[in-house]
Structure 1
Amino acid sequence: MSSVRVPLSPRIASNHSLAALAIAAMPFIALAPAAHADEAADAEQRSTIVVTGHREPASNPNANPQAPYKVEKSANGKFTEPLRDTPRTITAIPKEVIEDMGATSFREVVRSTPGVTLGTGEGGNAFGDRIFIRGFEARNDVYIDGLRDPGVTSREIFAVEQIEIVKGPSGSFGGRGTTGGLVSLQSKRPDFLDDYLVAEGGVGTENYWRGTIDANYRLSDSVAVRVNGLYHTADTPGRDHVETERWGGTVALTAHLTDTLSVGADYYYMRLEGIPDFGHPFDVTTSRPYKVDRDNFYGVIGRDFLKNGADVASVRIEFEPTSYLSFNSITRYGKTYNHYLVAAPGAVCRVQRSGMVGNNPLTGTCPQNGTSVPTPPNQGLIPVAESEYTLNAGSQRRWAGNEYWANSTSATAEFDTGGIGHTLVLGGDYAYEKVIARQLNIAAFAEDSAGNPLPVPTAFVRNLLNPNPVLGFKIPVGPNRSLAPATTKVRSFGAYLIDTIKFSPQWSLTLGGRYDTYDMDFRNPTATNPAERQLSNRSDFLNWQVSLLYKPVEAMSLYASWATSSNPSGEQVDGSGTTYGGAASATINLEPERNEAWEAGAKYEMFGGKLLASAAVFQITKDNARENIGGNVFQTVGRLRSRGAEASITGTLADRIELFGGYTFLDAKITRTSPQNAANLGRRFANIPRHTAQLLANLLVNDRIKIGGQVFAQSKITGEGTTTLLKTPYIPGYVRFDAVAEFHPTDRLELRLNVLNLTDKRYYDAIYRSGSPFSYIAPGRSATLTAKMTF
């Protein structure tokens, strides 16, 4: 028996038009009539034909073997039907797509996913994977193997089988939060079909080195083990001084104790160290980033750092006494940490001097918005002739750790009542989380390379056009252990029931409900405001899901869905304060925010089930959004609305072209506000583009070569207007191109070339929200060559 190797397709170049790319992402509109005649026969045959063959080693068990870009089913047991027949939008990204994108981190995958946008690690929030789904915060809505992954860190993907982005309020499936949706990562698990070792090694520009292993071994007919390992180091393309080093490993074991009972255990270890980057400063007169050199870095080398890591152990039990009844339980203990100190490029000013002493201005002022502020001496860090425009390097910091226990247990049953079929999922989740955040100390002294003490400059002034971030010495940084840390403890419980009711082959109804309790205690003994030292919140809430699905033919699903979710006060436990959803005295006693949404869509399979096209329209409404009505007083009087449309296509076209693409239109704005904030009415959400589109397309030239690439386009995004800014800041839209090529010299060896940001496009990911904004600049062009050997 032989395996089928699927191609990668040539990137379909857009004419720099989002509309053109959106049309390209929906070929089923044109193909459906031609393919329909074959689909009826294909659907009937697929119900009776058993396909035999050899599955590629380490391939995704959830994907179509002949179309690895097309994921057939969710790894989340709460979604019991194939993705084609699941009545909501789920973007499933298998590892084959991740490889062809050239992505090596969760953040890089998200950057290329329509409808999901990157946020910024600001205001004391964790410098990590901050994301928005359909316009709403989702940084604490990431799940791994069915359990919430608390703690916002920088996640790796070396041990990930697939990533699923579930769109729309998901309170019935995920519990608290999940306003715009949730992200679910599936880990690689032991395989009982093959023994294999897959070793990858990559080299590239910007000092890129990456190596991974994926080894699976059957110890016996009933026991298998899988081991994954990683080492990665690279500079950030197009940025001076920004670098990252990552290393980690996983081991997972599964044992079939009987024909109906299996147990498994796994351990995940990951560490990251690097120099963080907050990008470029903003010109408040034009409300756009300053036109400085792309590689200008405004940090402090010798002080700034980023370190995070994770140690996570899980045990699972799977019991299937009959083919119609199964039980699943997973228990996890984990510890994560996130430590960083990063300079933020602050407000830029043009210095007016009077008097000089050596290289230092005796006095100076920086007129800004009609006022004058003193300019600190530059301590000789920049020559006077170059320092007409200067900015201070700030010091945003975090030293936090997260420890948690969690369990999720469920039962799935299939049965009939009066000729009506049911697939019932009944379960419950429990989690205990503890977050400890310490104040970070910046030493009052510095050290040279030999450890001798040196004086520390009182301010780090940077020249706008020619910054010199290298101190030439080291400033010790660490946690202040003489002060008690801020501690957040959360206990949460959820019970849910989801029933998929099949009235006939054409009609089905999904009903879901979930009850959650949320119990949070926050203690910060060192808070200057006594009201912020002890805070607690006890909340409970119900959420619902109702979906109706109709199948005019087997290959097509039409659906309409309604769902809710809830956001309790203090939900974002990675930080504190009102700005980013953490614990604060002004909001802690407010009722949970309530969200509801509707979605209607269609999904259609073509080419023998190898290609799936989807389209949907949706609206999410938050009717009682928390809003500051003056001073430090908050009320749930606001309304936020996100409305839009999505289209996507995944799979293999005509056995020669792989496609993975989509388009999202999103109109996200404030639709109701208090009289005190009337100026915000109609304001768009910050950092949320109106249009995003992406298409990865690859062509199988022959059985050894495939070529292709990716195009990603995004319209402009705005920041948040403040009274200190002349205009609302924004960053322009862009179109980015990537390229990929694969060559298989032998059946066991694969060579892959990825070129990211092919045209070296200068673009930005997000805007920091403040009176002195700055913008995150995306990586420049890079190229990597990866060799994959299968043994």
Structure 2
Amino acid sequence: MRIVLNKAAKGMFMSRPALVSRALLAGALSASVIGPALAEDDLAESEDRRTIVVTGERDGDANPNANPNAPYKVENSANSKFTEPLRDTPKSITVIPKEVIEDIGATSFREVVRSTPGVTLGTGEGGNAFGDRIFIRGFEARNDVYIDGLRDPGVSSREIFGVEQIEIVKGPSGSFGGRGTTGGLVSLQSKRPQIGNDFAVVEGTVGTENHYRGTIDANVMLTDSLALRVNTLYHQADTPGRDYVESTKKGTAIALGWNPVNGLLVTADYYHFRLDGVPDWGHPFDSTTQQPYKVDRDNFYGVIGRDFLYNGSDIGTFAVEYDPIDALALRSITRYGETYNRYLAGPVGAVCRFTRTATGACPATGTLLPEDQFTVAPGAQRRYSDTRYLASLADATIRLGIEGFSHTLVFGAEYALEKVDAHRLLTSAFVEDANGNVLSVSPFIRNLLNPDPLLNGTLTSYVDGVTGPTQTRVESTGVYLIDTIKFGPKFSVTLGARYDSYDIALFNPDASNAAGLQPERLANNVSFLNWQASGLYKPVEAVSLYASYSTSSNPSGEQIDGNGIAYDGLAAVTQNLEPERNENLEVGVKGELFNGELLLTGALFQITKQNAREQTSPGVYELVGKLRSRGVELGVAGNLGDKVHLFGGYTYTDAKLVNSVNAANEGRPFANIPKYSASLLATYALTDRVEIGGQVYHQSKIYGGTQVAGTAFVPGYTRFDAVARWQVREGLEARVNVLNLTDKVYYDAIYRSGSPFAYIAPGRSATLSLTASF
């Protein structure tokens, strides 16, 4: 985090005109309390300050959307559909800048989510892909991840070395994102070329658990109007507190920005990423306590010599932004990408308390063994999928108005074609040792307390060359219009609508049944309209009070990585159903303190799915269920005075099944969702060169199950992290991160089956980073 302690010396610089305002106050406080204290100062300033542009020097790689003096506080969304400053946007949006990502020690998308209240990690399972599975406000969002405004299809393990900020938009967002987005969406903003700015930031990190990481972020002006920005990554590390679990990541992001004339910016970028690791599916469950077995944290129950994890991405993007006049902005972005997700992983099976048979099967009854003789047989979840996609978006922003009344309209169109080939992955029946000798493989049986996951060789995996892949093809189009109408300086209304068509087709060559019917072909072609309406009132300039209503839609087969109904994939009995419909009611307050450097937010929300898919009789599904998630969110971001810097939040979520054909399920909470979660990152500047701080994160227990909670659960926990920075000299900084300071044993997520397992979180780790800026 590059906090500007000497404001007079550093100044402020924005690389392009930006809406920078001094506002945003009290997320949880009422306007009646904070208003009088701010009114005199705020009313004395004109509305023109929202377009202030001050030139001077600033750290070269600084986030152009953040407050120059408070990097934890982001002023503007990177999404052009949100035209107002975040303080004046009538929707809950949590923006995590790269400075926060550094201070919490996160090196992956999953690690950022682990520290974000209101966003929950899920498990990769047999029916959905192993990777970045998340829930927002209680609802699945694994396919609601966007990069620079376009959906990033497929589920994989994402890196963040080329990310400027991560935006989490809360609540149904069909008007902004199209299909899905039931609980919200996540948008990653890439680091962009900066015209007129040369800099290089080189960072090297070493740490416990064989942690080695190096990144380079360089921006070079090739000519007066052409900039090249390059980000590179090398990362190798074991997982703290886990035997055998490791990963190696390599990545490059190259972007060219061309500014031939004033108001025109043309960019082209290419993103390349590879991950090679060992998948880890955690610890077994005790069916008697309905909690994870209390085994050693480092126990690994997979199969070393068989299990693997490979992720990769190659993505090219071309964009044009043209602002011919102040009142008009045009944007076009086109992307082609290829990603893959390939793994064979050993999920922890049910614990056997009896003597297994010669084939490794666990008998239903028998003589109970002592616990040190209990056994576990790892499974073999696997995926070998390739995703190719072409996406394009074009929109225009028009600002119209007269004194005291104005319109800001955003209208555009979007097209996407996504293709997924999911191959059958087979394994050989024998192991080859280092000399190529063929050895027999006994059943994979592990001792519960002392598992030995090592094979005597390597078990070969290969793609089925006889049965072709399951092929999924999705073609979608959308048109949208968003209008923000301002009635003077105090009141505004935002209206939006989006019309989408969604056409999915699935061909499964392995779906022939015993009667010899043709391979199964499924399809769903639907259209749907979503809209939103909100009103915003500003009692004083620094405070925004708002109320909002929004909708979204979930067509059948929306989760294109899903295998069947339980994972929201396409199925014969659901392909002809209309989309599920979601609506969101939200009221909130946003505002600023301390000269606009501290943002406080608060919101009450309720999401209702009126027509959830449910099985009403064997082989019959209907839209008859009702789900509801309601709660409260609080947030803080920015500076508390000159020395204290804060970022955090609190979320209470009461998510449950309201109506069901199965009366026994009514009133039961959602699976995978904690009722409470909270975090606070705080740092303190001891001197102009030394800063210390830490983060505390708390989460209540999470129940397993499918849609509604079962009895199995992982307990709640509180985790502490620490960070310290020392500016050795101008342009050289040292940072120490200690994660999970108390070495707390806790679990991220729980598998949904009747014999679940739990993802165990990393143990304590410490890293030292040296950052050189040129």
Q: TM exceeds 0.5?
A: yes
1:627–1:430 distance in 2 versus 1, CA, 3 Å: same
Q: Does 1:124 align with 2:127?
A: yes
CA deviation digits over 1:316-337, x for unaligned, max 9? 0111121101110000000000
Q: Does 1:67 align with 2:51?
A: no
CA deviation digits over 1:589-642, x for unaligned, max 9? 111000001100000111111011000000000010011234332111101100
Distance 2:649 2:229 in 1: 33
Matched with 1:102 is 105
CA deviation digits over 1:294-326, x for unaligned, max 9? 111100000000001000000001111211011
Specify which of 520, 534, 554 is matched with residue 547 of structure 1: 534
Shift of 1:42: 7.4
How do residues 189-200 of structure 1 correspond to structure 2 at under 5 angstroms? 189-200=192-203
Matched with 2:552 is 565
Distance 1:479 1:764 in 2: 33
1:468–1:80 distance in 2 versus 1, CA, 3 Å: same
Matched with 1:10 is none
How do residues 102-501 of structure 1 correspond to structure 2 at under 5 angstroms? 102-352=105-355, 366=362, 371-372=364-365, 388-416=373-401, 420-457=405-442, 459-501=443-485
Matched with 2:682 is 697
Matched with 2:651 is 664
Specify which of 54, 59, 67 is matched with residue 56 of structure 1: 59
Q: Does 1:688 align with 2:690?
A: no
Matched with 2:38 is 36
Matched with 2:505 is 521
Distance 1:671 1:173 in 2: 27
Shift of 1:655: 1.5
Shift of 1:388: 2.2
**Is the CA contact (8 Å cut-off) linking 1:246 and 1:272 kept in structure 2?**
yes
Q: Does 1:730 align with 2:713?
A: yes
Letter of the aligned partner of 1:716 in structure 2?
A: K
Which consecutive residues of structure 1, in runs of 5 or more, have no partner in the other structure? 8-23, 354-360, 376-383
Shift of 1:476: 0.4
Matched with 2:624 is 637
Distance 1:738 1:575 in 2: 35
Specify which of 751, 765, 772 is matched with residue 755 of structure 2: 772
1:450–1:173 distance in 2 versus 1, CA, 3 Å: same
Which consecutive residues of structure 2, in runs of 5 or more, have no partner in the other structure? 8-25
Specify which of 574, 580, 598 is matched with residue 593 of structure 1: 580
Letter of the aligned partner of 1:344 in structure 2?
A: P
Query: How large is the Cα RMSD of the aligned pairs?
Result: 2.4
1:285–1:620 distance in 2 versus 1, CA, 3 Å: same
Distance 1:491 1:659 in 2: 43
Shift of 1:97: 0.4
Matched with 1:580 is 567
**Is the CA contact (8 Å cut-off) linking 1:698 and 1:707 kept in structure 2?**
yes
Matched with 1:12 is none
Letter of the aligned partner of 1:511 in structure 2?
A: L
1:454–1:500 distance in 2 versus 1, CA, 3 Å: same
1:466–1:29 distance in 2 versus 1, CA, 3 Å: farther
1:253 counterpart SS class: strand
Shift of 1:548: 0.2
Report how many aligned residue pairs link the two structures.
751
1:36 counterpart SS class: helix
CA deviation digits over 1:405-453, x for unaligned, max 9? 0001000000027952000000010000000000001112210012222
2:637 counterpart SS class: strand
Of stretches 44-53 and 223-232 in structure 1, the one that deviates more from structure 2 is 44-53
TM (norm. structure 1) is 0.91
Specify which of 525, 538, 550 is matched with residue 538 of structure 1: 525
1:444 counterpart SS class: strand
Shift of 1:30: 12
Specify which of 726, 729, 732 is matched with residue 746 of structure 1: 729
1:694–1:39 distance in 2 versus 1, CA, 3 Å: farther
**Is the CA contact (8 Å cut-off) linking 2:431 and 2:456 kept in structure 1?**
no
**Is the CA contact (8 Å cut-off) linking 1:124 and 1:396 kept in structure 2?**
no
Matched with 1:11 is none
Identity of aligned residues (%): 61
Distance 2:32 2:698 in 1: 23
Distance 1:229 1:47 in 2: 35
Letter of the aligned partner of 1:111 in structure 2?
A: R
1:663–1:386 distance in 2 versus 1, CA, 3 Å: closer
Shift of 1:527: 1.3
TM (norm. structure 2) is 0.93
Distance 1:491 1:690 in 2: 37
Letter of the aligned partner of 1:732 in structure 2?
A: P
CA deviation digits over 1:347-382, x for unaligned, max 9? 1121247xxxxxxx7699856xxx43999xxxxxxx
1:494 counterpart SS class: strand
**Is the CA contact (8 Å cut-off) linking 1:722 and 1:771 kept in structure 2?**
no
Matched with 1:17 is none
Shift of 1:35: 5.0
Shift of 1:483: 1.2
**Is the CA contact (8 Å cut-off) linking 2:355 and 2:366 kept in structure 1?**
no
1:448–1:5 distance in 2 versus 1, CA, 3 Å: farther
CA deviation digits over 1:522-575, x for unaligned, max 9? 001111445871000000000001000000000000000000000000011113
Distance 1:570 1:779 in 2: 34
1:589 counterpart SS class: coil
Shift of 1:722: 11
2:459 counterpart SS class: coil
1:289–1:221 distance in 2 versus 1, CA, 3 Å: same
1:720 counterpart SS class: coil
Matched with 2:23 is none
**Is the CA contact (8 Å cut-off) linking 1:662 and 1:695 kept in structure 2?**
yes
**Is the CA contact (8 Å cut-off) linking 1:6 and 1:67 kept in structure 2?**
no
Letter of the aligned partner of 2:506 in structure 1?
A: F
1:51–1:319 distance in 2 versus 1, CA, 3 Å: closer
1:105–1:38 distance in 2 versus 1, CA, 3 Å: farther
Distance 2:470 2:424 in 1: 9
Letter of the aligned partner of 1:313 in structure 2?
A: G
CA deviation digits over 1:22-65, x for unaligned, max 9? xx996899994795267426755946976443111100000000
**Is the CA contact (8 Å cut-off) linking 1:32 and 1:606 kept in structure 2?**
no
